[in-house]
Amino acid sequence: MSDDFVHKTVLLYEAVDSLNVQPDGVYVDGTFGRGGHSRLILEKLGQHGRLIALDKDPAALQEAGKIKDSRFQIVHSGFAKLQEVLNGLGVAQVNGVLLDLGVSSPQLDEAARGFSFRFDGPLDMRMDVTRGQTASEWLTTADEKEIGEVIKNYGEERFAKQVARAIVTAREGGIIATTRQLAEIVAKAVRTREPNQDPATRTFQALRIYLNQELEELSLVLPQCVSVLAPGGRLVVISFHSLEDRIVKRFTREVSNPDTLPSRLPIRAKELPVPVLRLVGKVIRASDAEVAENPRSRSAVMRVAEKAGEL
């Protein structure tokens, strides 16, 4: 099966169009994945344009190595270190940043990565397999309360306490080493199933988000994006989970509203503080046609904001 068949980039044209790519601009793809967005950005860049991509996943770096283009550079890093990466490359400002959050289709579809309960494989779940604890290792050492809190807070699982108790009981008989083992444990602990959803869905999601510090890294990178954007530059974020989208929505709204001043303060409109960002358009979701072709795009939510000032 080819990578092109396995991986369909969500909101490909909508995201790149929203970046408003300038031919000689400098852009960041903070989540290269399998490169769908990056390749389209490169098509729109001129001879003197530049694209810097980041990714934690060594498999993504291998895919990026197929792009033979002097305008393109890939860095093995999570986007939480965006400003550090750009400083190291001598880049002070960029004209756009794209963040396509969550896990990619190839990561889900490769049993050895341990992201999905649909395949039996080692219980890993790390986006960067070169560092950090695997899900199996964490479940071996974490106490019941901590496991329950992670599943509740990151998976919004109603039966988090029951799942945590079942995991702790099961590990007394040996390490929970595979995705199938964990899925079977969760299935027995979740008393009611949501329509069209496996009982293990929320637990697997919670462990992945927690182990990879996805929400924390998103909260860290958003202020950095604003800092590195040139006036008129665009920030485009695609979220796949309500917890992610909530962080993006709250942040962009806060920095797009001027500071609140006392209502009777004698000040002219032109003297009011200028918002750092301007929200661009409405929330964008995948079309019915895209969802039909790629069901994983169903939950995608894209928000766009622009740095105050002119290009």
SS (H, E, C) 148-213: HHHHHHHHCCCCHHHHHHHHHHHHCCCCCCEHHHHHHHHHHHCCCCCCCCCCCHHHHHHHHHHHCC
Q: How confident is the model over 98-123, as a mean pLDDT? A: 87
**Of the listed ranges 175-189, 234-248, 297-311, the one predicted with least confidence:** 297-311
Percent of the chain predicted with pLDDT > 70: 92
Q: Where in the chain is the domain with CATH 3.40.50.150?
A: 3-105+214-307
Helix (H, G, I), strand (E, B) or coil at 106: helix
- pLDDT in the model for residue 5: 38
Residue ranges of the binding site for S-adenosyl-L-methionine: 35-37, 55, 79, 100, 107
Report which residue type is found at 28. Answer: V
Among the listed residues 85, 24, 25, the one whose alpha carbon sits nearest the alpha carbon of residue 54: 85
* Residues 80, 220 contacting (CB under 8 angstroms): yes
pLDDT at 287 over 80: yes
- pLDDT in the model for residue 245: 96
pLDDT at 104 over 80: no
Among the listed residues 187, 1, 280, 221, the one whose alpha carbon sits nearest the alpha carbon of residue 99: 221
Q: Which residues pair with 278 in a beta bridge?
A: 306
Helix (H, G, I), strand (E, B) or coil at 254: helix
pLDDT at 109 over 60: yes
Rounded to a whole number of angstroms, the distance between the first and last alpha carbons of the chain is 43
Residue linked to tokens 């995608």: 300
pLDDT at 35 over 90: yes
Among the listed residues 308, 306, 281, the one whose alpha carbon sits nearest the alpha carbon of residue 11: 281
Q: How confident is the model over 82-107, as a mean pLDDT? A: 93
pLDDT at 163 over 50: yes
pLDDT at 2 over 80: no
3-105+214-307 CATH fold: Rossmann fold (3.40.50)
Q: Where in the chain is the domain with CATH 1.10.150.170?
A: 129-211
pLDDT at 300 over 90: yes
Residue ranges of the binding site: 35-37, 55, 79, 100, 107
- CA distances in angstroms from 161 to 96, 147, 164, 169, 310, listed in the order given: 42, 8, 5, 12, 52
Q: How confident is the model over 32-46, as a mean pLDDT? A: 96
129-211 CATH fold: DNA polymerase; domain 1 (1.10.150)
- pLDDT in the model for residue 114: 86
pLDDT at 58 over 60: yes
Helix (H, G, I), strand (E, B) or coil at 57: coil
- pLDDT in the model for residue 235: 98
- Which token pair is 89? 């490359």
Q: How confident is the model over 14-20, as a mean pLDDT? A: 97
Confidence of residue 232 (pLDDT cuts 50, 70, 90): very high
pTM: 0.89
- pLDDT in the model for residue 310: 61
- pLDDT in the model for residue 236: 98
How many distinct helices (H) and strands (E) make up the chain?
A: 14, 8
- CA distances in angstroms from 144 to 149, 162, 185, 229, listed in the order given: 9, 10, 14, 43
d(CA 102, CA 225): 18
**Most confident listed range (99-103, 212-216, 269-273):** 212-216
d(CA 282, CA 292): 22
